[in-house]
Amino acid sequence: MRVILYTGKGGVGKTTVSAATAVACAARGRRTIVLSTDAAHSLADLFEQKIGPEPVRITKNLYACEVEVYHELAKNWGAIRAYIKHFLASRGYGDVIADELSVMPGMEDLFSLLRLLEIEESGEYDTAVIDCAPTGATLQLLGFTDVFEWYMSRFFDLERRLVRAIRPMAERVIKAPLPGDEVFGQVEQLYRRMVLIKALLTDPNRASVRLVLNPEKMVIAESRRAYTCLGLYGYPVDAVVINRRLPPEVDGYLAEWLGIQQKHLDVIQHSFAPLPLLSCRLFPREMTGLKAVEAVAAEIFAQYEPDQVLFARTPFELEAKNGLYEMRLYLPGVSKKEIQLFVKDGELIVNAAGFRRHFLLPRQLNGYIVAKARLEGDQFNILFAKDSA
């Protein structure tokens, strides 16, 4: 199944672009679903029909779904949430506060994305288009899998064994419940699902992220940061969609805006090259309803197939070379002074433009150290050599 994720600053038109992509795919005979993972759903308003947590048919080959967060929470977080609420209640917190604190920030987005894995496993669709939350929430979500992986590899098994050993005595001393096997089992199951969804979303042959932006200074700046972060975490970006571009025939009152947008378009071209730039003009009316979305789709994909891989580049590679190992990390839009590199206890930590990623180094790098690191254009190369050498 081909997966396309759209993200961008709030208000740039991600939902419209996502729906237009899905409509274009369906029109070409692909069985397509458009899925909203944003808590503030707007697919129903766009298509002007009721859409719920289960797929709803919009037209031939096209289905839409707005993920119901609380349903997904109950399915993926039920036992863990019940334990947290029980623990907090034992410490004197009221039911309402305990209920609120039992869900960590960002978990709703995570469970919404796990719904995508169920859709992929069902085999019912050829293409899935994801209308993601605004950029900040999406980046936090995509980076969460690395944090979870770090915890699971270092502390989970130890913590599970420790709790089993000390539970009878500890619960009497602290007068509070400790997590049982059901809780640890759900954490482990959640981790396995997260590994699968990350494998899907970082495979450039199956998944792509596309950035939606408007030709405005602050929107471009946020999109550039997102592009860097996506490269750092290994998520392939294959296109940028410039939405609400003023048409040349606009003059008079908006003439100055035309000039400003043209300058921003030059910046976009420079900032995101060699990514393909797709474009959609600002229409003279609100684009809601299926016919309107079809018009948007026709404009965006006048030159491209909607679900083809528009730009193929693997953001992360590790290759053996003459007894050495070279790691290549695609980091667009950063300068040498914005990168920091740390190695400790089999873990590589890279800071790039304010974002941080922890790499758990593979076993074949045991006994290797970083011999050299350099930034060449948009590619950060790290060379590992044997410690004895």
Identify the band that residue 355 occupies on the pLDDT scale cut at 50, 70 and 90.
confident
Task: Work out the angle between the directed axes of helices 181-201 and 135-151 (0-180°, nearest 10).
Answer: 120
pLDDT tens, 278-296?
999 999 889 999 999 999 9
Strand order from edge to edge, sheet including 355-360:
339-344, 347-352, 355-360
Question: How much is the pLDDT for 276?
Answer: 94
Any idea where the domains of the chain sit in the sequence? 1-309, 316-386
Identify the band that residue 174 occupies on the pLDDT scale cut at 50, 70 and 90.
low
For 319-374, give the DSSP string.
EEETTEEEEEEE-TT--GGGEEEEEETTEEEEEETTEEEEEE--GGGTTEEEEEEE
Identify the band that residue 152 occupies on the pLDDT scale cut at 50, 70 and 90.
low
Are 1-309 and 316-386 in the same CATH fold? no
Phi, psi for residue 26 in degrees, rounded to 5: -65, -40
What's the CATH number of domain 1-309, 1.10.3720.10, 3.40.50.2300, 3.30.70.360, 3.40.50.300? 3.40.50.300
Question: How much is the pLDDT for 353?
Answer: 80
172-191: average pLDDT: 69
**251: number of CA atoms within 13 Å, CB side?**
2
Architecture of domain 316-386: Sandwich (2.60)
Which range is least confidently modeled, 237-241, 264-268, 340-344? 340-344
Residue 111 has pLDDT above 80, yes or no: no
Q: Is 240 helix (H, G, I), strand (E, B) or coil?
A: strand
65-75: average pLDDT: 74
Identify the band that residue 127 occupies on the pLDDT scale cut at 50, 70 and 90.
very high
Residue 306 has pLDDT above 90, yes or no: yes
Q: Is 59 helix (H, G, I), strand (E, B) or coil?
A: strand
Residue scoring higher pLDDT (159 or 372): 372
Residue 105 has pLDDT above 60, yes or no: no
Q: Are 207 and 3 in contact (CB under 8 A)?
A: yes
Using the CB atoms, write b or e for 250-272: b if 16+ within 10 Å.
eeeeeeeeeeebeebbeebeebb
Which range is least confidently modeled, 27-31, 134-138, 211-215? 134-138
Question: How much is the pLDDT for 27?
Answer: 96
pTM: 0.80
Q: Are 102 and 8 in contact (CB under 8 A)?
A: no
Question: How much is the pLDDT for 22?
Answer: 97
Q: Is the dihedral of CA 93, 99, 100, 101 positive or negative?
A: positive
> Cα–Cα distances in Å, from 266 out to 262, 270, 345, 384?
6, 6, 45, 39
CA nearest to 202, candidates 3, 1, 25, 39: 3
Neighbours of 381 (CB within 10 A): 14
Mean pLDDT, the chain, integer: 83
The two tokens of residue 280 are: 């959609």
Identify the band that residue 240 occupies on the pLDDT scale cut at 50, 70 and 90.
very high
